[in-house]
Structure 1
Amino acid sequence: MTNIPLTAREVRLLRYQSGPLKAEHFEVIETPVPSLGPSQVLVRNRWFRISISTRLMAEAGAVTVKGIPFPPLKPGDTLADGAIGEVVQVGPGTSLEVGNLVLHPLGWREYARVPAAQCKRIEGPNVDPAAWLGHGWTAYAALVGGIQVRSGDTVFVSSGAGAIGSMAGQIARLLGATRIIGSTSSAEKARWMQQELGYDAVVTRDGAPICEQLTEAAPDGIDVIVDMVGGDQLAAALEISRHGARCVLLGAVSAELNPSNATLRAPVELDTFQLILRGVTIRGFSADEHAPELFDAWISQAATWQRAGRIQLSRTMCKGLDAATLALEQACAGQLKGVVLAELESC
């Protein structure tokens, strides 16, 4: 039986920020462990996800955004994000049991009071948190349900070292694509993407103009665009897209990590006449909204690919709540790779 303490720690927004998000904008506080009501469970968190979308939701005037699985933050609010933890106490009216491992939306705290309806039970003793909390399933759903990758495709993935991009390139290859091109912020990340993730070529923001780099990397054009950035990267990829190309929009990092302030606006100028002539398809896609049924399929497929040594679930791990705020700052500054996860010590 797990001993439940009287108090536990959590991370709260200390004040609104303008410009880059810093660890100093948050505080780790100790608060009473919450009591339970009907159909609620108390979960001791083991891992939680650290998302760059926190920057957007920590801005003054932030609003609820479909596709971001946590609400806007006000000073004094506890942060939230996907988490995995062990049920240590159950309220009346729930089928969950003490000892169950569950996926739920209330990370950034040691103990979470969660409505049982928001918990997804995880079966089996061996859990890879990067499979359950990472955005591999977002990439999988986009490439299977949003658009379809075909054998022989050339695929461009923007922000290829990030939580989605580090998975999208690998998954596209496994689905039949023959040339995978990515973008990232630095030569160091580009080398990592090629050596560890199998990208054939990588363009960087600190190199020549993106359009020139892409034309050299994909002289015959691009069939599939998986975009997390927007702006000039999206425009450049569409400019050299082939007839019948498919583009899926999964994010807009250029807006979320805008140097002056996070925003919901990511304007870009496109030559739509050429897109019409080439029969290019552009689709905005949210895995949570458009293909939630593919989550279980992703977990099963990821396990199969892992056993065969065919996929790497890239992650950056940090230990404890105190390290998590710095990891958030580093993630928003583009310094980390893959999905960023915090691991909490066992109680």
Structure 2
Amino acid sequence: MPENTTYQTSTQIQLSSRPTGWPTPENFRTVTVQLDDLGENQVRVANEFISVDPYMRGRMSSAKSYVPPFELGETMDGSAIGRIVASRAESLPVGTLVLHQLGWRDVSQGDAGAFSAVPELPGDSPSLYLGILGMTGLTAYVGLTEIGPVTEGDTVFISGAAGAVGTAAGQIAKLLGASRVIGSAGSDEKVALLKEKYGFDAALNYKTAPLREQLPDLAPDGVDVFFDNVGGDHLEAALDVMNTHGRLAICGAISQYNATEPTKGPDNMANFITRSLSMRGFTLNHHLDKASEFNEKMTQWFGAGKVVYDETVVNGIGNAVDAFLNMMRGANTGKMVVRTGTPDND
């Protein structure tokens, strides 16, 4: 099949230096790469959306982690959704919508095995495969079914609740039988959104007063499950109100990702003993066996209108770094994605 000559170059974002503390635009560079001709069983994809996520901050460090660090001078990667524009793979013809991990660029190319065909979403943006219908939703589901399982009648507290994983977790907790769901967010507008759109029973603005002062009033009967995206003062406040046999699912610690000095730990760790608490951290790559179960349930929930979502969309691959930095500062509501389309491939 002849190649589409419109997509011979790829604009890509590379890590040029490792940040200390908060990343800055100077830690990145934008390059234009001339793509090679397709090899046997390879495809070329015009990305429509790429994902920027908190875990990527950890990959900008050389410290050992659960995923390899980004290499200096190399194009970064991450989740992306796009459409095949040239193919030498019979299984993935031109026009196929595919999900893959070659993000941070507007055109991706590689072996067909690196790309997974996904169904079209009539009436909805394919970017949902990067959010509520993808790894974001799966992360929330794993945390609330396997790590800190929700049972009927539980009270659930979710930190960073207005973000992509947080908004998914609040809804999934309710669908799993939680009787009360509480969330934290960083503005009064996000607090209102959690209650009015996402069905949270209560929410707090962690910037208006110390969490340890606010949370007990919202959880008069205590908390059974804590889903933590933030760490720090959120974890400490949650430990104050956890019920006996409470479960803590530790998904992230965004409050510490840009710290340049060791952070102080909670002063109430003895509650793990006196209340028989369990805390378990997790990363999604160890729980991908839950994907088919999640896909089946989320498809039903989404189709029945039981799940809603928000996206913060930034236009242009050239604005991907700004999107990432703004997401790290909490400027997004729901999932932050970058629409990578150009005038040639919109």
Query: Into which bin does the TM-score normalised by the smaller protein fall?
Result: 0.7 to 0.9
CA distance in 2, matches of 1:9, 1:189: 34
CA distance in 2, matches of 1:305, 1:183: 24
What does residue 132 of structure 1 align with?
A: 129
CA distance in 1, matches of 2:237, 2:199: 22
What does residue 149 of structure 1 align with?
A: 150
Unaligned runs of 5+ in 2: none
CA distance in 1, matches of 2:87, 2:126: 23
Instruction: Please state how far the C-alpha of 1:278 moved relative to its aligned partner.
Output: 2.0
Instruction: Please state how far the C-alpha of 1:133 moved relative to its aligned partner.
Output: 1.2
CA distance in 2, matches of 1:299, 1:34: 36
What does residue 36 of structure 2 align with?
A: 34
Relative to the length of structure 1, the TM-score reads: 0.87
What does residue 99 of structure 2 align with?
A: 103
What does residue 319 of structure 1 align with?
A: 315
Instruction: Say yes or no: does 1:328 pair with 2:324.
Output: yes
Instruction: Say yes or no: does 1:300 pair with 2:302.
Output: no
Aligned residues: 336
Amino acid at match of 2:176: L
Amino acid at match of 2:10: A
Distance 1:74 1:124, change over 3 A: closer
Instruction: Please state how far the C-alpha of 1:223 moved relative to its aligned partner.
Output: 0.6
CA distance in 2, matches of 1:130, 1:144: 25
What does residue 219 of structure 2 align with?
A: 218
Instruction: Say yes or no: does 1:20 pair with 2:25.
Output: no
Distance 1:112 1:167, change over 3 A: same
**TM-superposition CA deviations, 1:147-169 (whole Å, max 9, x none):** 32111111000111112111111
**TM-superposition CA deviations, 1:197-228 (whole Å, max 9, x none):** 22222223322221121111101100110011
CA distance in 2, matches of 1:282, 1:52: 21
Contact kept? 2:49, 2:127, Cα under 8 Å: no
Instruction: Please state how far the C-alpha of 1:39 moved relative to its aligned partner.
Output: 4.5
* Match 1:341 to one of 334, 337, 341: 337
* Match 2:115 to one of 109, 119, 141: 119
What does residue 247 of structure 1 align with?
A: 248
Higher mean displacement: 6-15 or 237-246: 6-15
Amino acid at match of 1:155: V
Relative to the length of structure 2, the TM-score reads: 0.88
What does residue 65 of structure 2 align with?
A: 65
What does residue 47 of structure 1 align with?
A: 49
Distance 1:100 1:154, change over 3 A: same
Amino acid at match of 1:29: V
CA distance in 2, matches of 1:64, 1:57: 9
What does residue 284 of structure 2 align with?
A: 287
What does residue 8 of structure 1 align with?
A: 10
Contact kept? 1:14, 1:26, Cα under 8 Å: yes
Contact kept? 1:14, 1:76, Cα under 8 Å: yes
**TM-superposition CA deviations, 1:287-328 (whole Å, max 9, x none):** 221x21222333332232223222112221112112222211
What does residue 159 of structure 2 align with?
A: 158
Instruction: Please state how far the C-alpha of 1:48 moved relative to its aligned partner.
Output: 1.0
Instruction: Say yes or no: does 1:278 pair with 2:275.
Output: yes
Instruction: Please state how far the C-alpha of 1:104 moved relative to its aligned partner.
Output: 0.7
* Percent of aligned pairs sharing the same letter: 33
CA distance in 2, matches of 1:205, 1:317: 25
Higher relative contact order (CA 8 A, sep 6+): 1
Equivalent residues in 2 for 1:219-238, closer than 5 Å: 219-238=220-239
Instruction: Please state how far the C-alpha of 1:144 moved relative to its aligned partner.
Output: 1.9
Coordinate RMSD, CA, aligned: 2.4
